[in-house]
Amino acid sequence: MTTVVPAPIDTDAPPRPSRALEVTFAVIALAMCVAYFTLSTQIELRREAPPGQLDARFWPLVLGTIGVGASVALLVIALVRPPANRDDLERIQRGGSLRVAVTCAVTLGYVAIWSVSSIVALGYRIELFPFATAIYMFLLLLVYGLRNWIGLIAYPVAVTGFIYVLFGMLLRIPL
């Protein structure tokens, strides 16, 4: 029985050109530009534009037309020409997409908790922002691979304190 050894992945190599990706992008761009153009034709005009002015639909229709034209050209090029190289980009690493997805999820959770503003517990009004921020940073550090317990606790506490003093107390922004 022979063992197939997979070829090592060169993490420094740029991503490979992809026709599928280029076509998908062009199709999405075309769909969005068509939607924009269609919505432009439906802009509700409450009154005629005053003399020396154009109505609210004119400029969006111009842009929609240019956008559709550019997207169609992009789609045609994506279909008939070889896909462009992607040397200017770095390859997506294993776990990279997960890091981004978890970051987005944790951030949405943080914003949701922050929006509650404060809770009343045991007769005291407790502002959630400092606790939410410290926990948020702790989770981010954990997701990004930090395993140093001092860093995981001290850094979020220090940054949260700095933000609270600077924004909440000095700049008087209602956090």
For the segment 69-108, give every residue that binds another protein (CB under 8 A): 70-71, 73-74, 77, 81-82, 84-93, 96-97, 99-100, 103-104, 107-108
The amino acid that residue 74 corresponds to is: L
- Total of residues contacting another protein (CB under 8 A): 80
Q: 9 or 119, CB closer to another protein?
A: 9
Q: Which of 2, 120, 145, 150 binds another protein (CB under 8 A)?
A: 145
Output the smallest distance, CB 85 to another protein, in A: 5
Which of 1, 5, 10, 123 is close enough to bind another protein by CB under 8 A?
10
> For residues 104 and 98, what is the distance between their CA atoms, to the nearest angstrom?
10
Q: Looking at residues 38 to 57 of the shown chain, list those that interact with another protein (rule: CB under 8 A).
A: 39, 43-47, 49-56
- Amino acid at site 154: A
Ranges within 150-169 binding another protein (CB under 8 A)? 151, 155-156, 159, 163, 166-167
